[in-house]
């Protein structure tokens, strides 16, 4: 099993939205490196839900990858801000995954706290200027995030 961190602005789609919906397609990713990470995900992988562009930003919960290798439907929709006119159903450029809600952490891990706990090499989200919306998380880092988020480790 692999671990990931996936960002979403809570005013666009929040962990509470996922909890309500139970599952969703993680659409709208338009960065090739993030897309390649989505392509490498496997069913059963876990992903940390990170609320970005909010005060304070941070990891708020956990979701699981339940379906992979899906074509992102927004790439074909001319009304979508994620429309890609170079992408066709015969040759799609953007793939994604379906995620399922797992849990809301008892303790959100704010970005400042993450910076104190992890180096930029260990957890990419703390790198200055990092704007990647999907990134891998090493297993040892994931274990610590899980413990802190579940209130089992004060960090």
pLDDT band at 32 (very low <50, low <70, confident <90, very high): very high
Kindly report the average pLDDT of the chain as a whole number. 96
Assigned domain for 39 exists: yes
Question: Could you tell me the residue range of the domain that residue 125 belongs to?
Answer: 3-149
- pLDDT tens by residue, 130-142: 889 999 999 999 9
**Looking at residue 25, which CATH number applies to its domain?**
3.10.590.10
Judged against a pLDDT cut of 80, whether residue 154 lies above it is answered with: no
- pLDDT tens by residue, 64-84: 999 999 999 999 999 999 999
- The long-range contacts involving 78-87, CB below 8 angstroms and separated by at least 24 positions, are 80/28, 81/28, 82/27, 82/28, 82/30, 84/30
3-state secondary structure of 98: strand
Assigned domain for 62 exists: yes
Assigned domain for 154 exists: no
Q: How many domains does the chain have?
A: 1
Q: Helices (H) and strands (E) in the chain — how many of each?
A: 4, 6
Q: What pLDDT is stored for residue 155 in this prediction?
A: 54
Assigned domain for 155 exists: no
Q: What's the sign of the alpha-carbon dihedral 124, 54, 48, 30?
A: negative
E strand spans, 21-153: 23-25, 46-51, 58-71, 95-110, 134-137
């Amino acid at each position: 099993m692999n671990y990931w961190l996936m960002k979403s602005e809570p005013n666009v789609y929040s962990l509470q939205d996922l909890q309500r919906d139970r599952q969703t397609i993680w659409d709208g990713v338009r960065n090739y490196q993030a897309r390649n990470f989505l392509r490498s995900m496997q069913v059963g992988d876990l992903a940390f839900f990170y609320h970005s562009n909010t005060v304070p930003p941070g990891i708020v919960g956990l979701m699981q990858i339940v379906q992979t290798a899906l074509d992102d439907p927004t790439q074909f929709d001319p009304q979508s801000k994620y429309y890609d006119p170079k992408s066709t159903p015969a040759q799609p450029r953007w793939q994604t995954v379906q995620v399922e809600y797992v849990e809301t952490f008892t303790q959100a891990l704010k970005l400042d706290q993450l910076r104190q706990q992890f180096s930029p090499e260990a957890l990419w989200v703390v790198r200055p200027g990092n704007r990647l919306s999907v990134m891998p998380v090493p297993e040892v880092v994931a274990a610590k995030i899980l413990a802190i988020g579940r209130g089992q480790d004060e960090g």
